[in-house]
Structure 1
Amino acid sequence: MSDGKLVRPPQVTMAAWVTIVGSAFLVLTVFDTVANLRSLDTRTSVEETLGSPPLDGLGLGVERALSLMHVMAVVAAACATAAAILGWQVLRRNTLARVALSVLVVPLFVAGIVTGGFLSSMVAVSVVLLWSRPARDWFNGIAPAAPPSPPPPRDPALGPPPFSGFGTLPPQEGALVAGSVPDHPYAVRPRPVVQACILTWAFSSMVLGTVLVSGLALALDSSVLQEAYASDPVLADAGLSLDDVRLTAAVFAGLFGVWAIVALVLGVLTYRRHEWARITLIVSAAVAGALSLVAAIALPVVLMLTAACALTVVQLVRPASTAWFTDRPVERNP
């Protein structure tokens, strides 16, 4: 069926408008949050929160907490503005807008906590609806299947319907019989999916190995971290002690290690043809690519990881990959 005859599913319409309206209100909420960020009530609330567990052991001052909240508010406003634009493009059946919105919703959800988290959570839930089966069919140009029509009523005068052995021909040799299933036309795993999984396994293993080796090295010899702390006066000026830096490094190492393990598992599930794993792996690779691109400013070698993440996303969204996961043929231009 042509694209002009496709009817937009209600899930997509609701998700797109919730994203647009929720993002607009989130921007307005950010302006209000930033305007009252330095008020006495906000300072008192932040001070009480920092003095309660589990934040009391971080040693985070009120000024630093307010500065962090300011940055998160700016990030939330920027992400919400982009999300509103992408939500409008989603209504126009823009596939790239749906993928970009799915990636953008991760920092939007995290940064939106500074405004209370309700609006950012609402947008995040609406984006999930864009990956439901009716929404995927609509974005891929597939019209919903028409319900089967009921069989016409049989005239009783014609007698009972024929049965095998009387009034019907015997099944021919080699013909399909009831209950038989033909070979699946997409049983062969596409090459882009294989390449994406190999990239995921290779670079996730590399990241996990780097985290483990670095953690072991710091555990056996802490002089490297001490020298780095002594050579960077910004850390001391910010009020961070050597123990704070060590704890922060351990937390980030743990997060990246767990992330690498999750990516390895997602690669296996994607290889085994789980659609939700493919979508999750696309989002994971996109976020990892963006973070590695920022880290490449200080460490250019990380660009290898950026390129691998970008290639993984490209391979998993190719038409051959999508058709294999969704049991649909690839549309070819004449």
Structure 2
Amino acid sequence: MNDPNYSGFQNPLSIYADKYLLPLAAAASVGSLVYGLASKGSSPPARLDRPLAVAKAKTMINRFRGQVGRGKWPGLDRTSVADRLELLLDSPYLVNQGGNGLCGEAAFLYVWLSEDPWSVARYCVQLYNGGAASVGTDVWVRPRESLRSQDFTKVAKMMVDRNSADKDAIKWSAEWMMMSALRDANNFIISYDGTPSDDWGSGSSNGEVADWLRATGVFKDVSLADGRGSKNNFAAAAKLDPQTSVVILSIDSRMFKETITGPGNDTHNAVLKSPIVVTEYGTVDFDVWTWGNPVGPVSALRATYHQSELSPAQFTAEYFGAIIATR
């Protein structure tokens, strides 16, 4: 199957405030979409159970791997993207933003891979071959040519040069493409170049992440708990229930790797995987996914940075709310 080339279509402003996205209904007017995507407003198709969805996605990836050329991303190797995508389907926790400021995009991609791997694979394949792709049935993502022409080998080297712990960055091509495209498509004025040095073009808001979660069609409801009564409120955080909903925390990244040093800043998103509790020793602990690590307790994550366990005072100072997606 040949994928259409959507890279030349201009992105008009969408129904989403301050975004640079094309609603799928508009995209449908320029031709039928590969894989039979529905127009905006239609009900999303019933999802496959995860094992079947992964198997179906891998069949598509094998077809994608056998095609020739570098699609609309001349600086990305097709086989590397296919191999990495297949690995992410089996192990979503491997999603790694490296040194790039894409924590919101990474949290979203981890959740989407976990909940609907087939749709993520379709998004990746369509994005690589055609230069544009959809999130669910509501949002169309078309990154600028300046991003698509980036040499990922050089980007990976920049990550390693900035942080030697990112020595495997060259392997992260698939998630780099998917996350960077989403970021660039959401930037109305400032383009995103996909590198660790791009501080101006990176960074997502909780509202953007919530919009992407809604667009997947996976959740019954997506809400924000990040205003008065939520941020810097330990009691509110302790009521979050990641066992019935997907919960993405909005926090200061220092919570995971440093001791408290003054007021916190809303700099990071991570996925909450267990209730937030005060231990018998008076410290705070909970399971979390972040930075391409397996899900594990915050106490263990802080230990890798040679930090003592998290105090209630630091948690409270560095907690700014959550995005809650109900299945």
Please report the TM-score for the alignment, with normalisation by the length of structure 2: 0.25
Higher share of residues assigned helix: 1
Larger radius of gyration: 1
Higher share of residues assigned strand: 2
